Amino acid sequence: MKELIQKNKLSVAILTLPLWILLYVSLEPLTHAIVYSLLSLPQNEHLTNAIYFFIFEVPKVLLLLTLIVFAVGIIRTYFSPEKTRSALEGKPLFVGNIMASLLGIVTPFCSCSAIPLFLGFVEAGIPLGVTFSFLIAAPMINEVAVVLLFGLFGWQTALLYVSTGLVIAISAGWVIGKLKMERYVEDWVYKIKADHIAVEEEESSFNTRIDRGIDAIKDVVGKVWIYIMLGIAVGAGVHGYVPENFMAGIMGKDVWWSVPLSVLIGVPMYSNAAGIIPIVQALLGKGASLGTALAFMMSVIGLSLPEMIILKKVLKIQLIAAFAGIVALGIIIVGYIFNFVY
């Protein structure tokens, strides 16, 4: 039996899909049954609303996350930093920034690999500005954030986040390129001479790609499920108990300083997207404005203090400051635009 499954991973994966769909569509009636029939909680009370929200949203987001992380895990087996690097070699500045930002979304990346990747790009002569477009897009536009935005806010907000994230990555990288900051990279970086030995690609049968997808589920979902539960629990509390328009005075669109302030608070916060997005979603219902909420989430996810400390190993402080400043400015502009439009 086990061997049979090993050989036919694709069929197993395809057969699991209807089960997934069945589970997903029965979440709402199931929650309804649990909350009102099984627990027989009174309708339209704060506590009931909070419990309903929690019971419904946690499995929904986890189901979505499992599916998307699996799919992204498989898609990423078709990309690698090596391929991305050769695709970017010799590209002119602006085109390079666009390509780097797009590839940043699909290329396998974790913040622990940021330095080796940076060194690999610089060593191959990829311009600094193009490298930065990649380094900005890769963490900011990640599958966990997109799934949570899609699940809790709807596809419009998810799309908005991805597209504005791309614009920020492209333009911030372009500006850094124009500023000619190459001399603010640590000197030893330019002395590295890497062997360009062909690294053997892992045998890429579809079975191993599916294995990578399952690894991604174990890795990502295994890491973030607790934050999702905590975030949604806090969100549920906010939904049930915080009065309407409570946030309007701090995060409302008429408060001009709310956008820069939320970025200022967001940057040093290293909560992962999984914990922060459900809380922001709940605040949005209490009078916070979309632009401010978006700016806050982008600064939490896209700009993190630990990442900057890691980058200190290869970049001088001036370049780190320029990088953080330009991205923060981009996020603030996006926040204002959305507060103005909506």
| Rounded Cα–Cα distance for residues 223 and 248 (Å) | 33
Burial of 289: CB neighbours in 10 Å, binned 0-12, 13-18, 19+: buried
Which region among 20-28, 196-204, 276-284, 332-340 touches another protein (by CB under 8 A)? 196-204
Instruction: Identify the CA nearest to 278 among candidates 220, 218, 238, 335.
Output: 238
Tell the smallest beta-carbon distance from residue 280 to another protein (Å): 28
Q: Which of 19, 22, 112, 341 binds another protein (CB under 8 A)?
A: 112
Number of residues near another protein (by CB under 8 A): 28
Least CB distance to another protein at residue 305 (A): 18
Whether the Cβ atoms of residue 166 and residue 102 lie closer than 8 Å to each other:
yes
Select from 13, 93, 119, 290 the one that contacts another protein (CB under 8 A).
119
Contact between 123 and another protein per CB under 8 A: yes
Specify the stretch interacting with another protein by CB under 8 A; choose among 46-54, 75-83, 95-103, 248-256: 75-83
90 binds another protein (CB under 8 A): no
* Comparison of 124 and 160: residue with beta carbon closer to another protein: 124
Contact status: 82 vs another protein (CB under 8 A): yes
Nearer to another protein, 80 or 271 (CB): 80
Q: Does 78 bind another protein (CB under 8 A)?
A: no
Residue 174, SS3? helix
Does position 194 interact with another protein (CB under 8 A)? The reply is yes
Half-sphere exposure of 68 (CA within 13 A, CB side): 19
Q: Angle between the 128-140 and 93-106 helix axes, to the nearest 10 degrees?
A: 30
Residue that has been written with the tokens 């309903």 in this structure: 52
* Cβ-Cβ contacts under 8 Å for 12 (sequence gap 6 or more): 5
Largest CA distance in the chain: 70
**Alpha helices (H) in the chain, listed in sequence order:** 2-7, 9-25, 27-32, 46-76, 81-88, 93-106, 114-123, 128-140, 143-153, 155-178, 187-191, 206-216, 222-241, 248-251, 258-266, 273-284, 290-302, 305-311, 317-341
Instruction: Decide if residue 22 touches another protein (CB under 8 A).
Output: no
Q: What are phi and psi of 185, to 5 degrees?
A: -90, 140
Chosen residue from 25, 90, 116, 305 binding another protein by CB under 8 A: 116
Q: Does 120 bind another protein (CB under 8 A)?
A: yes
User: Nearest CA to 74 among 252, 168, 209, 271?
Assistant: 209
Answer left, alpha or beta for residue 166, where phi above 0 means left and psi between -120 and 50 means alpha: alpha
Task: Closer to another protein by CB, 200 or 254: give it.
Answer: 200
For residue 121, which of 98, 142, 105, 104 has the smallest C-alpha distance?
104
Query: Binding mask 24-63 vs another protein (x if CB under 8 A, - otherwise)?
Result: ----------------------------------------
Q: In whole angstroms, how close is the CB of 81 to another protein at the nearest point?
A: 4
Is there binding between residue 199 and another protein (CB under 8 A)? yes
Residues 288-317 that bind another protein (CB under 8 A): 313-314
Per CB under 8 A, 217 contacts another protein: no
Nearer to another protein, 78 or 241 (CB): 78
Task: Identify which range of 139-147, 198-206, 276-284, 296-304 contacts another protein by CB under 8 A.
Answer: 198-206
| Residue 196 binds another protein (CB under 8 A) | yes
Span from 60-68, 98-106, 120-128, 162-170 in contact with another protein (CB under 8 A): 120-128
Contact status: 85 vs another protein (CB under 8 A): yes
The 3-state DSSP class for residue 102 equals helix
Q: Is 242 helix (H, G, I), strand (E, B) or coil?
A: coil
Binding site for another protein (CB under 8 A): 80-82, 85, 108, 112-113, 115-117, 119-121, 123, 188, 192-197, 199-200, 202, 212, 215, 313-314
